[in-house]
Structures are given as structure tokens and as C-alpha cells.
């Protein structure tokens, strides 16, 4: 089964339906499997007291106003989902309220992605898990004990669950990425494990695939200089295309075993690149071959192999040799 590559649009659309649809078309050209959104309904999710990044926007007076600007109607979401299907992308979204879950259910979504800040929101998880649908759980702000509690709750319902290692830091520095956690999650929970990256580079995701990640998720942006909370943590379209190529390359490499004990396929190349012993100066009959008289020259099979040089050192020649002649066994009497 191939690694699933998810490109998150998040809030990169800036509340513009036109920009959002542009992301769908652009990401369809990168080779990703899935496009992910965030479903925000301000009145159900936020309040005027929300402190996070209140003044980060030139447009919004409060964070509540920002979430309102990120909303789309059911009809608009239906068009978004249909566009994804039309270009061959799977539709995925993270809800941030029970009301958002209700909206996504009206869209008949097939899976849910749980954002890092919602992992302990058992009220919303209760609503999601009862749909019977697959769930991807992000763990960016969660300790193992919190993950244990969430997964124990989900396991009672029998949904197919995947878990993602990520770090809630934008952008994430190399020392905070936690690639080691991928293996720890695999051993601890015996579930499909993925990696959600906020570094703004492709390197950690490629490493995660090599470590056995089943899912890769990255944020997307048209240009890192665009306004938005995730721009510096995101990948551009060309970055994502390179990431997809890299993931598929690594997948093919990992799935194709090489037998290092069998080199018969290199027989012709060995003849071309390996070497035969040659003399590096004129030598007369009766003289002894010394180590400093020897050179190794292409191709192989023109005489004594360079690997057998010790067998000729100290031997007496029974003929004259010119510089760069290959050395053969019949040039010695014994």
C-alpha cells in the first residue's frame, strides 16, 4: 500500500472561495493523493475571549472575526468537495466544533482528521466516532498519557484509526520534529502511523517515509511570502511536487530488495571497469618484478587480475616487456 500524501490548504485561501478552488487545481498537478481543509464555524468554535494571534491580521479585529472569514456555506463546501473529486483528489477536512461535524456529515465525508488541539475534545470525538468512519488523530500537543486516553476511548467503537506524529510549532526546527516518535508510536499502539510536518521543508517528510510512515501531511501555499499563519511552515507547489517524487522514489527503493550476494548482473560492467596488471616501465628478460614496477589498467581479463598482484612480485621474467604491456602468466617460468 502506497504512502498517502496529504496537502493541507488550511487557511491559505484567506476566506476566498476563488483562491481555494485555485489551490485544488494547483495541487492536483503535484501528484498528492488527498487535499485537506479546515471546517471552521466561528460561533460554535470560538469566542471574543480567544487570545491566540488576536492582532496578527490586518483585516480582522479579533480571532473570532478571523474564523468567521474562514467559513463557507454548505453549498460552497459541496462545490469544493465536488471539485476535488473532479480532479482526482480525495477530500478531507478537520472539524473544530460539533456543528462543523454536522456540516461535514451533510457532505458525506469518508474520514475525519482530528487537529492537535482537538485530540482531548472527547465531546467532539464522541460525535465523530459514532459515525463509524475512519479517523486520523494528530498528536502535536499531546503526551503519551493523553494519547493513551484518546485512543482507549476511540478503540471502544471500532473505527479504523491512524495516528500522526507532529509538533505544534510553526515553523518546526529540526531538533523539535521528533522523527524518533514515529517508531515509538508504531510499537506502542500497533496502528498506522503518519507524519504531519510544519518545517516548511521536504526533508523531514522524506525521512519519515524511510522510517515507515504510512501517511505524510504538509501545509501548502502558493508563495511563502503570502499573508497567513502557516505560510512560513508550508510548502510551495514546486516543493510539493518534489516531495511527491521523493516519496515515490523512496517507496520503490524500500519495496525492491537487492541481493548483495549475487553480482552476476554486473559481469559485463566488471569486465569494463575492473583492471589487469601492467608493467609501468621497460623490463628485460631475467629481471625480477618489483611492487613499484606494477600498474593496474582497464579492462579486466587481459592477463593477471590486479587483485592477484602478489603472485607476480619477486618473479623472474622469461621475456622482455615494454612499458604498459599487460602481464600474463606465461611471462614467468614458475
CATH number reported for the structural domain that contains residue 154 in this entry? 3.20.20.70
* pTM of the predicted model as reported, rounded to 2 decimal places: 0.88
Q: What number of residues does the chain have?
A: 334
* Domain total of the chain: 2
pLDDT at residue 63, as a whole number: 81
Same domain, 286 and 201: no
245 plus 189 within the same structural domain: yes
The reported pLDDT for the residue numbered 168 is 87
Q: Are residues 270 and 325 in the same domain?
A: yes
Query: What is the per-residue pLDDT for 47?
Result: 82
The pLDDT assigned to 56 comes to 66
> 46: pLDDT confidence band, cut at 50, 70 and 90?
confident
Indicate whether 43 and 190 sit together in one domain. Answer: yes
Q: Same domain, yes or no, for 34 and 182?
A: yes
Whether 184 and 171 have beta carbons less than 8 Å apart is answered as no
Question: Containing domain of residue 315, as a range?
Answer: 264-331
52 and 190 part of one domain: yes
Statement to judge: residues 91 and 164 lie in one domain: yes
Q: Are residues 134 and 204 in the same domain?
A: yes
134/224 same-domain check: yes
Mean pLDDT of 128-135: 97
Q: What is the pLDDT of residues 138-160, one digit of tens each?
A: 999 899 999 999 999 999 899 99
**Can you give the pLDDT at residue 135?**
98
CATH of residue 310: 3.90.1210.10
Amino acid at each position: 500500500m502506497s504512502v498517502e500524501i496529504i496537502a493541507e490548504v488550511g487557511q491559505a485561501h484567506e476566506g476566498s472561495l476563488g483562491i481555494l478552488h485555485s489551490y485544488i487545481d494547483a495541487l492536483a498537478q503535484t501528484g498528492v493523493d488527498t487535499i485537506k481543509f479546515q471546517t471552521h464555524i466561528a460561533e460554535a468554535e470560538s469566542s471574543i475571549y480567544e487570545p491566540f494571534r488576536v492582532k496578527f491580521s490586518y483585516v480582522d479585529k479579533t480571532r473570532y472575526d478571523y474564523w468567521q472569514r474562514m467559513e463557507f456555506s454548505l453549498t460552497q463546501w459541496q462545490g469544493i468537495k465536488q471539485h476535488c473529486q473532479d480532479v482526482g483528489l480525495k477530500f478531507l477536512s478537520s472539524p473544530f466544533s460539533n456543528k462543523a461535524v454536522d456540516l461535514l456529515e451533510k457532505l458525506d465525508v469518508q474520514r475525519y482528521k482530528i487537529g492537535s488541539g482537538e485530540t482531548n475534545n472527547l465531546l467532539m470525538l464522541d460525535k465523530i466516532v459514532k459515525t463509524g468512519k475512519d479517523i486520523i488523530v494528530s498528536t502535536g500537543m499531546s503526551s503519551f498519557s493523553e494519547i493513551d486516553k484518546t485512543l482507549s476511548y476511540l478503540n471502544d467503537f471500532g473505527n479504523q484509526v491512524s495516528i500522526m506524529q507532529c509538533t505544534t510549532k510553526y515553523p518546526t526546527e529540526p531538533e523539535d520534529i521528533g522523527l524518533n516518535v514515529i517508531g515509538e508510536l508504531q510499537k506502542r499502539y500497533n496502528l498506522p502511523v503518519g507524519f504531519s510536518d510544519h518545517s516548511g521543508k521536504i526533508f523531514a517528510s522524506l525521512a519519515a517515509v524511510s522510517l515507515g510512515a504510512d501517511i505524510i501531511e504538509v501545509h501548502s501555499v502558493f508563495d511563502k511570502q503570502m499573508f497567513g499563519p502557516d505560510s512560513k511552515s508550508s510548502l510551495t507547489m514546486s516543493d510539493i511536487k518534489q516531495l511527491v517524487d521523493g516519496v515515490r522514489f523512496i517507496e520503490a527503493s524500500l519495496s525492491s530488495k537487492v541481493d548483495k550476494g549475487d553480482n552476476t548482473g554486473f559481469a559485463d560492467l566488471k569486465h569494463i571497469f575492473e583492471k589487469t596488471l601492467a608493467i609501468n616501465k621497460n623490463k628485460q628478460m631475467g629481471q625480477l618484478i618489483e611492487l613499484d614496477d606494477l600498474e593496474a589498467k582497464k579492462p579486466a581479463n587481459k592477463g593477471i587480475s590486479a587483485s592477484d598482484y602478489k603472485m607476480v612480485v619477486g618473479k623472474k621474467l622469461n621475456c622482455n616487456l615494454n612499458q604498459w604491456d599487460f602481464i600474463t602468466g606465461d611471462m614467468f617460468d614458475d
